[in-house]
A and B are shown apart, each in its own frame.
Chain A
């Protein structure tokens, strides 16, 4: 953290004044009169961004643990599929994956009558399940690779000590292996979660209404170009800052 004294150097004060002037100029001379009209929609969009991010990172992490474990210590019939999955996810653009799932599966499902008559159909007709699925798989693919390194990086002596205590394998995993591995990669996970946040606007292309989609709509409705985009960038920076803070807390605690 930068102290107050460090912040109070002459050139920094001058830069802050320039920056403040820029903000005031933005507030006065740019158009912000659309905000009240779109505020409720924007809040909804913000909420959608946050829950899609939270759900997909959580599920993705749950999926990444077995993927990492299979690659680190699994037998070949588990490690090869896991590695293939990670390579494919990491080797193709997320936008393509999202479109493959949404348009591909979306055009496949209606052909089966039993899917159409099932209870899940009302959900499968919407876009968000595909968005969450695509983001979850993507996060799992990147994190599987990270967890592979984490699992093989845990000191062997600790596992041997646990074994010599007669700990069952699952208890050993839960109490020693997983906590140590997660602790080692927390900084990486923080960075990856910010990357995941930056991937969320892609789901706007399949009609999910999140904060990016709201800004596009403002642009399309009012022909105001820069203001919604600048505000959007600020919102994303704020969320990224919160994520960084949360992970710093986790690392310390």
Chain B
């Protein structure tokens, strides 16, 4: 193995990327990135589910407020939103802490990242889930209502399973956006993969080696999640007639 690297003239790169070198830092950064992406995606889903229900069944004021939320979030660059939400979040927590008689609180980077990206993801998830719920035939929900099912049970037993197949492609896209948006947290100084890469690159001056390695890691995450979501979509579509090979 080592001989092969030497032969290709990559000996120096392999040494730099080894786990005892900077490779370990890169992997730690990747773990941080994935942790935030998972958290933000989950928070986004929760916000999106409530948002979609609010937009579809909520009162006039709720609907207008949600429209403002989704429009504003989708029109302003993520980087700007991240800064605003980061400062607002830390200000609020510090105010609360001072109000309770505590001192200034040092904010956990992972929690801040999840909060910031989750709010951004929530806006997109709202639109995706609203479209998916709209695509569920109204008769199915009416049938559930006529059986006297309570709202939460309808959601759990009818709406969510029926909308899954419509929502999965959009949600897969959102997950990919979440993984890539974690890179933006580098700008606020959080140690995720991109910032770790930059630190490694600037202290060894081997820019291409590290940026290409990080690009490879991101690409692996993207490709693996693509495969996973293809499985999930197949599962969500189970029992439905296939769209391919029909008489069209």
Contacts and interface: CB of A to CB of B under 8 A. Distances in A.
A99 B75 contact: no
B135 interface: no
Contacts of A88: 215, 219
A1 interface: no
Nearest to A240: B75
Given A103-B202, A198-B77, A92 B215 contact: yes
B223 interface: yes
Interface residues of B, number: 39
A11 interface: yes
A100 B80 contact: no
B197 interface: yes
Interface string A214-253: 0000000000011001101100110011000000000000
Contacts of B215: 88, 92, 96-97, 100
A194 B77 CA distance: 9
Interface in B34-81: 60-61, 64-65, 72, 75-81
B60 A9 contact: yes
B194 interface: yes
B80 A233 contact: yes
A171 interface: no
A91 B218 contact: yes
Interface in B172-228: 176, 180-184, 186-187, 194, 197-198, 201-202, 205, 207-208, 211-212, 214-215, 218-219, 222-223
Given A15-B61, A91-B219, A107 B205 contact: yes
B84 A229 contact: yes
A212 interface: yes
A237 B207 contact: no
A96 B183 contact: yes
B116 to A, nearest CB: 13
B55 to A, nearest CB: 16
A66 interface: no
A12 interface: yes
A141 B78 CA distance: 20
B219 A205 contact: no
Contacts of A229: 80, 83-84, 87
Interface string A3-36: 0000001011001000000000000000000000
Contacts, number: 106
Given A93-B183, A200-B77, A11 B84 contact: no
A181 B80 CA distance: 34
A229 B81 CA distance: 9
Interface string A68-93: 00000000000000000001101111
Interface in A94-112: 94-97, 99-100, 103-104, 107-108
Of the four ranges (under 10, 10 to 19, 20 to 34, 35 or more), the interface on chain A belongs to: 35 or more
A205 B187 CA distance: 8
A100 B212 contact: yes
B60 A96 contact: no
Interface string A193-223: 0100111111001000000100000000000
Contacts of B205: 107
A104 B197 contact: no
Nearest to A233: B76
Interface of A: 9, 11-12, 15, 87-88, 90-97, 99-100, 103-104, 107-108, 194, 197-202, 205, 212, 225-226, 229-230, 232-233, 236-237, 240-241
20 contacts: A15-B61, A15-B65, A88-B215, A90-B222, A91-B176, A93-B184, A95-B183, A95-B186, A96-B183, A99-B198, A100-B207, A103-B201, A103-B202, A104-B208, A197-B77, A201-B77, A201-B80, A205-B187, A229-B84, A236-B80
Given A93-B181, A93-B194, 4 more contacts: A15-B64, A91-B222, A92-B218, A100-B212
